[in-house]
Amino acid sequence: MTLNILIAPSGFKESLDAEQVADCIATGITRVIPDANICKAPLVDGGEGFTKTLVAATGGTLHHLTVTGPVGQKVAAHFGFLGGTTKKTAVLEMAAAAGLRLVPLDMRNPMITTTYGVGELIKAALDAGAERILVGCGDSGTNDGGAGMAQALGVQLLDENGQQLGLGCGELIKLKRIDLSQRDPRLNRVKIDVACNWHNILCGENGVAKIFGPQKGASPATVAAMAAALEHYAAVIQTELGIEVRKMPGGGASGGLGTGLHALIGANLHSRYDIVMQYLELDNLIPAADLVITAEGCIDCQTPRGKIPAEVAKRAKRYQLPVIALVGTIGEGADINLQQGIDYFNSILTHPCQLSEAIVQTSTLLTNAAEQVARLLLVGRQISSFNNARFKHMRFNYPNLSAKNQKFKPVQIVPRRILS
């Protein structure tokens, strides 16, 4: 019987995109089960690959350009236009201009990184005639609340002397006034929809500085400084614009970019899967599967809060399908995912190693891990076949009934020898 396997992974940050991850898993599976019917559905959540995946899914076009990167250096980036839309719809991902992979390891200081290049991407889309813009938030290397993005589009963030702030989260503590008079007027005529993690908020104990700052290179002291700067930023936004953003759903997405997009340029924030699933066919593919395999760089207690493996598992469980997750690292509280629809997860790492080494070897590690999963599936298939055969070939000795004794004697079950 052919095994139908749906592979629906995320990308691995700084290593493989979702398409490459799906290819590696498929290769590992077919090494062991060559007759498996494999369907690949690489997924994006607003982070790396968001633009290329949606452009490919709709038959659109991709456009390349150079923008200001997160540490101020010029970087190669891209945006796209979707195919088959009535309104000319541009799609872009913040990670292409301000992603973590663009921040060198020795320069990871989220007090100074900027989203200025994201604003340049939006401006390029407007220059190309966009009537609607989709922005993907994810995989960020920044924590500036979207201030740099807004400055690139003409928003004036001023200190007490009326001077424009510099770039980076560290500057926000000096913010006194917000002037929208020089903002690109085309923003008033274009609808901007943002795909973001609805669970991420800007401020407080669960705010973006404290939850995600450390993975972007922030020390405890830096985290405290960033949190204070964003609290001040939120207070000025409320005073100047009348918008409460401290705990706005999605406001903490991509280091607070969600806040800047909504409050400073008028974008609408959406749960990312409400946007993504309009263009991908996951829900149509799940019913035909026997097994779903997903993947991501890390699984931990944050995974149920909007990460791809949890979303895939939630949708697969509507059809009672088993779900396996292959991950780079297993973080604190990962077991909670076993209550969220993921039936089994395992790291692709086979030995302790540095992150830089793992990134280089991800393709090989992932392919080999998928092969091991396939071998377990093969063992499970053999066990199932053995049990089915044993049941099928059992013979039952029924005792004869006599007129004097109408009760059955105990039935003796004699399994036939089925091993050759």
Please state at what angle helix 220-241 crosses helix 253-265, rounded to 10 degrees. Answer: 20
- The per-residue pLDDT for range 203-233, each reduced to its tens digit, is 999 999 999 999 898 999 999 999 999 999 9
Token pair of 246, please?
Answer: 């401290």
| 300 DSSP assignment | S
Q: How confident is the model at residue 400, as a pLDDT?
A: 44
Backbone angles phi, psi at 359, to 5 degrees: -60, -40
pLDDT average, residue stretch 88-115: 95
Instruction: Provide the pLDDT for residue 389.
Output: 62
28-33: average pLDDT: 96
**pLDDT tens digits, 148-171:** 999 999 999 999 999 999 999 999
**Which residue, 94, 106, 123, is CA-closest to 255?**
94
Domains of the chain, by residue range, sit at 4-43+280-381, 50-275
Strand, coil or helix: what is 134? strand
Mean pLDDT value across residues 294-302: 94
Statement: 50-275 belongs to CATH 3.90.1150.170:
no
CA angle 314, 380, 27 (to 5 degrees): 70
- CB-count exposure of residue 3 (10 Å: 0-12, 13-18, 19+): middle
Residues 83 and 180: their CA atoms lie apart, in Å, by 33
CB neighbour list of residue 102: distance below 8 Å, 6 or more residues apart: 69, 70, 71, 75, 141
Backbone angles phi, psi at 168, to 5 degrees: 110, 155
Sheet holding 291-299, edge to edge: 37-40, 4-7, 291-299, 323-330, 344-347
Q: Check whether 411 has a pLDDT greater than 60.
A: no
> Hey, how many other C-beta atoms are within 10 angstroms of the C-beta on 403?
5
Closest CA to 256 of 71, 118, 69, 74: 118
Q: Is the pLDDT of residue 97 over 70?
A: yes
For residue 396, pLDDT over 50 is answered with: no
- The region of weakest confidence among 17-26, 189-198, 398-407 is 398-407
Place of tokens 């405890």: 220
pLDDT > 70 in the chain, percent: 92
CA distances from 85 to 7, 24, 112, 331, 404 (A): 28, 32, 38, 41, 85
Q: Which of 118-127, 177-186, 355-364, 389-398 has the lowest mean pLDDT?
A: 389-398
Q: Please give the average per-residue pLDDT across 41-49, as a whole number.
A: 91
**What pLDDT is stored for residue 215 in this prediction?**
85
Quick one: average pLDDT of 39-59? Answer: 92
Confidence of residue 380 (pLDDT cuts 50, 70, 90): confident
Confidence of residue 386 (pLDDT cuts 50, 70, 90): low
Would the pLDDT of 419 be above 50?
Answer: no
pLDDT at 409: 41
Higher-scoring residue by pLDDT: 152, 420:
152
Report the chain's mean pLDDT, rounded to a whole number.
91
Dihedral sign for Cα 42, 267, 98, 123, please: positive
pLDDT at 279 over 50: yes
Res 2: pLDDT: 87
pLDDT over 50 (residue 63): yes
The class that CATH gives domain 4-43+280-381 is: alpha beta
pLDDT band at 391 (very low <50, low <70, confident <90, very high): low
Sign, CA torsion 16/22/28/31:
negative
Average pLDDT over residues 266-284: 92
| pLDDT value at 115 more than 60 | yes
Q: Under the phi-then-psi rule, with left for phi > 0, alpha for psi from -120 to 50, and beta for the rest, what region is 220?
A: alpha
* pLDDT tops 50 at residue 9: yes
* pTM score, whole prediction: 0.81
pLDDT of residue 15: 85
Phi/psi of residue 306, nearest 5 degrees: 95, 10
